A and B are shown apart, each in its own frame.
Chain A
Amino acid sequence: MGNHSYPKPPRVLAQLFELIARSEEQRTISGDLNEMFADLVEERGHLKAFLWYGGQVLGACPLFLFNSLYWRVIMLINYLKITIRNIRRHKAYSFINIAGLAIGIVSCMLIMLWVQDELSYDRFHEHADSLYVATFSNGSTVTPTALSGFLKAEYPEVLHTSRFTYMGSNLLKYEDTEIYEAGGVMVDPDFVKMFTIPLLGGYQETSLNDPQSILISEKLAHKYFGNKDPIGQTMTFATSIDLKVTGVFEDYPANSHIRFEFILPLALSKMWNWNLNTWEYNNIRTYVQLHEGTPVKSVDSKISDVVERHRPQDQRPLSLQPVTRLHLNPYHGRGTLTYIFLFSAMAFFILIIACINFINLTTAKSSNRAKEVGIRKTVGAFRAHLIRQFFGESLFLTLIASAIGVGLSILVLPGFNNLSGKTFTWEVLLQQGVLLGIFSILILTVLIAGSYPALFLSRFQPARVLTGKLKAGMKGGTLRKILVVVQFSLSVFLVLGTVTIYRQVHFLQERDVGYDREHVVIFGISGQIIQNRDTIKTMLLSNPGIQHVTLVDIAPYRWQSNAGVGDVHWEGKTNQQVKMVMTSVDYDFLDTFGLEMAEGRFFSKEYSTDATESFVVNQAAVKAMEMDDPIGKELRVWDYKRKIIGVVKDYHFESLHKPIIPMAMRIDPRWYQQACVRISPHRVRDTLAFLEKKWKEGHPRYPFEYQFLDDMIHSLYRSEQSIGTVVTVFTVLALFISCLGIFGLSSYTAEQRTKEIGIRRVLGASVSNVVKHISKEFVFLVIIANVIAWPLAYFLINLWLQKFAYRIAIGWLTFILVGMVVLVLSLFTISWQIIRAATANPVDSLRYE
């Protein structure tokens, strides 16, 4: 060896090789490489040698990888063996770990399914990404009828537009079948081009061009036509209008923001003299389809003042809202982003709680593994190997838990459907998105649950562990305490949330709505009833069980103010902007619902002008218009110009999510849709039988379908109710997993302190002394958890309650009660194990070594 220097291979490649060569032996190959490289440089020059070297290094990568995998499989088998042995040796702990994780995974999966379903709304439309609905800045999607045509004509970015409106219940007849159908909508012909509504028969593009045409769902086709082909048949709508069936569409998916059973062309509405080209008022929804890829922002900026240009008093900016977001828009849809967020957070919390169990129990039991770690390290394991091993163990346990979790999910899916009102089948678990979700839950669990034990256990120093100097297991004490606090904070938080949801829903259902909602029967009516309403009323009232009968367009509970508000003009109006809803009532309306007048009088047959010239308004309207003396003032709502004869006391004609808004009532038989009958509480059954009999006499072919007003009011809060139930179930699960965790920890503590307990007992401590002493620290943790959870819960509960116009006060009593319950529950769980240890004969416990 001398100072003779040999040519060196390129540095970068040499370093790359060092990187992939994992063992010392593999690194010797770089020596071989260097040697040949030197020869090659001499024989064929630098470039050739350089290329050769690169090829060699790159070629080695996959080969080395293969080689190391071979060895890993062998180690893996060893790891697996140890894992299984550990599971079997500590059955109770393994059970708590796996059961906790499995329940966590089930909860997570079900919630995820729910969330995914909520997010999937309206995604099935072929043009979902270019479909929008014209929306005012306050979230209202009720627009002028002239908007649709204007947008299409003026803006080249717009491909199609269609107006859309629901129609309420209407009679639909074919031959002998005549039934009230609720699911009717009216649209422009382009609607079927924009939305994906697969037609089974008829030609799609033109199917709604004829104003006298109708598209019906498969379900309706079956109901009316049986096995007959409905295409080309004539159905009678609203007793007198003949419509030709031009198409049958596949039953519309449930995950859409719109629902319908039959579609009519909007052009048909000329029968009722609707003004379809006006900017004067808002009463229809406008859907817009942009050309593929048009940025919606650019269109928004152009159309924001379209309505204002035509009707200067409406200055709300207009924009296009994606159809896919409508379902989660609180102003419009049934679902809300809040719940999506709430549920996702919940799933995450439950998973965290289950993971904390895993971390706590694994680190608590780490003294059992310390020796193994020591020996593995002594015989040459690096820390990385041990980390890999413990991660692998977590993965294995999580896999078992996932398998159990998936099985359980399939079992409880029907129950979950019941709770959530969804219709999942087990096949949904096979969807790509869901599988991906399960996979990410799994990875997340392994990362959260496995990381701490892996880092913690792998850190042990062999010399200290093997000589017994390190009291492993006591070390993670502080962290375990913190984690228990986190766990219980989350649990307390969830319980508080659940209790609040329950109280609020109960409050809404029981709140005085301003009218008497008991014992009112509501049913749809036909034109025949409207025409003969006076004789029918007299006939019904002759039954002693019937107290009042009235006809209305929309019964109080089911008003939706966002379905149409009109601008109002009145005597003495200055600059106020007042929106009003208008309802069409009958003379008996006040008595039937037990409403009270604040001023003036209600409609009466004694005044012939009431039917054509009078309005009754509510107190909210008077207040909004700032009228001092409303009686006799002239008021114009939409096209109706009448005098106010009375003011009715405010009542809740909408759900309690909404405040009471101004309302005007008029007598207008053309709009009647429902009959409301107040029956005597003592004769409910007889009276219903009487009503049904009379109905059959008048309409022998249709069933008598009725509902009780109070049931309907309850149904307004069904979404809160079902969410309340789902949340309760998951909260109970979360609490259960938390208790499972401290159960494991306390039994571990009891086991660790067997000797201490024995000595205390021998020295004269009573069982209760010992239990008190040991459970003290757990109780302390639970109290801290409460203290942390309360302010957070208060803040979020308050936030949630803001969405209700009428809401409960958050009582501190609830907080204290919930805290107590959780405390008692955890105390009970802990005592279980500790009492067992404390009541054991001290002789046995002191002799155990």
Chain B
Amino acid sequence: MEVLSRADEILLLAILRLKDNAYGVSIVKEVEQRAGKKLKLGGLWVSLDILARKGLVEKSMGDPTPKRGGRSKIYYSLTPAGLTALERVKEFNRSLWKGIGEVI
């Protein structure tokens, strides 16, 4: 089983942290705040679409609001497979860093 890329890891963590409020705008803001990366909304959608296709993320349609020009939101949430993937990444990072913290 492959390990998540760093970009995917960041996205999944953001979705996990945002819980029920994970949609385009909130994810972009979260990522910018935590990781200092400015995402493009279009790019974000493509990345999330691929994650959804891999079965790590689930999409659900929200309600349209006037501020959004009458467009619905798409809410993202982690699937069990997404959670497992995050855990694996965490384990992976830990094993990579094992013993190194004392040196630096």
Contact = CB atoms under 8 A, between A and B. Distances in A.
B15 to A, nearest CB: 15
A6 B40 contact: no
Contacts of B72: 28, 31
Given A28-B72, A67-B49, A34 B67 contact: yes
Interface string B36-73: 00001111011001000000000101001111111111
Interface stretch (B2-10, B21-29, B78-86, B96-104): B21-29
Nearest to B64: A31
Interface stretch (A58-66, A313-321, A610-618, A807-815): A58-66
B42 A63 contact: yes
B42 A34 contact: no
B73 A32 contact: yes
A1 B24 CA distance: 21
Given A6-B66, A64-B46, A67-B49, A30 B40 contact: no
A28 to B, nearest CB: 5
A802 interface: no
A5 B70 CA distance: 12
B13 interface: no
A67 B61 CA distance: 20
Contacts of B67: 6, 34-35, 38
A14 B43 CA distance: 17
Report whether over half of chain A's contact residues are helix, strand or loop; otherwise say mixed: helix
A1 B65 contact: yes
A325 to B, nearest CB: 55
B69 A34 contact: yes
A28 B73 contact: yes
A65 to B, nearest CB: 10
Nearest to A25: B74
A512 B42 CA distance: 84
B74 A59 contact: no
A29 B66 contact: no
**Which of A29, A31, A60 counts the most chain B CB atoms within 10 A?**
A31
A34 B64 CA distance: 12
A28 B23 CA distance: 11
Given A32-B23, A32-B25, A59 B65 contact: no
A30 B64 CA distance: 11
B17 to A, nearest CB: 18
A606 to B, nearest CB: 106
Contacts, number: 83
Nearest to B53: A70
Contact of B42 (A6, A14, A64): A64
Contact of A60 (B40, B49, B74): B40
Contact of A28 (B40, B43, B74): B74
Contacts of A8: 69
Contacts of A26: 45
Nearest to B47: A63
A410 interface: no
Interface in A86-113: none
Contact of A63 (B43, B68, B71): B43
A407 interface: no
A800 B7 CA distance: 73
A20 to B, nearest CB: 9
A31 B71 contact: yes
B66 A1 contact: yes
A719 B81 CA distance: 77
A55 interface: yes
B42 to A, nearest CB: 3
Contacts of A35: 24-25, 65, 67-68
Nearest to B70: A31
Given A8-B69, A29-B24, A34-B69, A55 B46 contact: no
A34 B71 contact: yes
A59 B43 contact: yes
A27 interface: yes
B42 A36 contact: no
A306 interface: no
A56 interface: yes
A33 interface: yes
A25 B70 CA distance: 14
Contacts of B43: 59-60, 63
Contacts of B49: 25, 67
Nearest to A30: B71
A33 B46 contact: no
A774 B61 CA distance: 61
Contacts of B71: 27-28, 30-32, 34
A36 B25 contact: yes
A59 B64 contact: no
A34 B68 contact: yes
A560 to B, nearest CB: 73
Contacts of B70: 31
Contacts of B61: 28
A63 B40 contact: yes
A31 B28 contact: no
A548 to B, nearest CB: 94
Contacts of A38: 67
A36 B68 CA distance: 9
Contacts of A56: 40-42
Contacts of B40: 55-56, 59-60, 63
A14 B66 CA distance: 16
Contacts of A32: 23-25, 28, 41, 68, 71, 73
A31 B45 contact: no
A67 B46 CA distance: 7
B92 to A, nearest CB: 27
Contacts of A63: 40, 42-43, 45-46
Nearest to A26: B45
Interface string A33-68: 111101100000000000000011101110110110
Contacts of B59: 25
Contacts of B46: 63-64, 66-67
B96 to A, nearest CB: 30
A91 to B, nearest CB: 38
Nearest to B61: A28
A15 to B, nearest CB: 12
Given A59-B42, A59-B43, A63-B43, A31 B66 contact: no
Contacts of A31: 24, 64-65, 68-73
B60 to A, nearest CB: 11
Given A36-B28, A60-B43, A63-B46, A30 B69 contact: yes
Contacts of B69: 6, 8, 14, 30-31, 34
B31 to A, nearest CB: 13
A165 B63 CA distance: 90
A113 to B, nearest CB: 47
**Which of B65, B67, B73 counts the most chain A CB atoms within 10 A?**
B67
B25 A60 contact: no
Interface of A: 1, 4-6, 8, 14, 25-36, 38-39, 55-57, 59-61, 63-64, 66-67
Given A29-B45, A67-B46, 16 more contacts: A5-B66, A25-B49, A27-B71, A28-B61, A28-B72, A28-B73, A30-B71, A32-B23, A35-B24, A35-B67, A56-B41, A56-B42, A60-B40, A60-B42, A60-B45, A64-B42
Q: Which 4 A-B pairs have the closest CB atoms?
A: A60-B42, A31-B71, A32-B24, A31-B68
30 contacts: A1-B65, A1-B66, A5-B66, A6-B67, A8-B69, A25-B59, A25-B74, A27-B71, A28-B72, A31-B65, A31-B72, A32-B23, A32-B24, A32-B25, A32-B41, A32-B71, A34-B69, A35-B25, A35-B68, A36-B25, A55-B40, A59-B42, A60-B43, A63-B42, A63-B45, A63-B46, A64-B42, A64-B46, A66-B46, A67-B49
Interface of B: 23-25, 28, 40-43, 45-46, 49, 59, 61, 64-74
